[in-house]
Amino acid sequence: MEQRTKSEKDRLLEEAMTAYGNDVYYVVYSYVKEHSLAEDLTQEIFIKFYKKVDTFREDSSLKTWIISVAVNHCKDYLRRWDTRMISISNKINEMVKGKMGAPEQTVIENERNSELIESVLSLPVKYREVIFLYYFEEMKLSEIGASLDINTNTVKTRLARGKALLESAIKRSEVYKNG
């Protein structure tokens, strides 16, 4: 395996941080559900990326590879801290990129986005991660499979099951609100 020069590593790190920094953060947040922790883990992921950049063989896209590093880092973190309670103390709305408009419109849209994100975050991890990567990160099924190290057909199955679970969660939420 070819060793990269320091300037090549620096360039790849800068490219990855600029192009995929937000993507990595949102993936991490979808796992840990806490902003400051997601920021810390995102920094750790980019440090890991820099140290392991020589193992990047370019047989997948840089985005697929960095998302894969992020997913594995999050899973490792959650395994280490599986007994620790992670509190959701910050508003999920901060994560949503809202459109500017009338204040009432913005409030309604933020409320809808918050409910949707809460519903996604309530799903089991195996469904949450494929839904997040497919809809929020707009990754292809094959890229998701490569990032999560699972078969593309498994991605399709989890996506379909996750959408069904999400739909029923949203319906339950609407019944609860209106009932």
Query: Which domains are assigned to the chain?
Result: 1-90 (1.10.1740.10), 100-179 (1.10.10.10)
Give the residue among 146, 151, 170 at the shortest CA–CA distance from 57.
146
C-alpha 96/C-alpha 114 separation (Å) is 8
For 95-144, what is each residue's pLDDT tens digit? 444 444 455 555 556 566 667 777 788 888 899 888 888 887 888 999 88
pLDDT at 20: 93
Give the residue among 170, 153, 179 at the shortest CA–CA distance from 119.
170
Q: Are 87 and 34 in contact (CB under 8 A)?
A: yes
For 147-171, what is each residue's pLDDT tens digit? 888 999 999 999 999 989 888 887 7
Q: Are 143 and 150 in contact (CB under 8 A)?
A: no
C-alpha 54/C-alpha 57 separation (Å) is 8
For 25-47, what is each residue's pLDDT tens digit? 999 998 888 888 899 999 999 99
pLDDT at 42: 94
Which of left, alpha, beta for 4 (phi over 0: left; psi -120 to 50: alpha)? beta
Q: Which residues of 109-128 are buried (b: 16+ CB within 10 A; e: fewer)?
A: ebeebbbbbebbeebeeebb
C-alpha 32/C-alpha 174 separation (Å) is 26
C-alpha 179/C-alpha 173 separation (Å) is 10
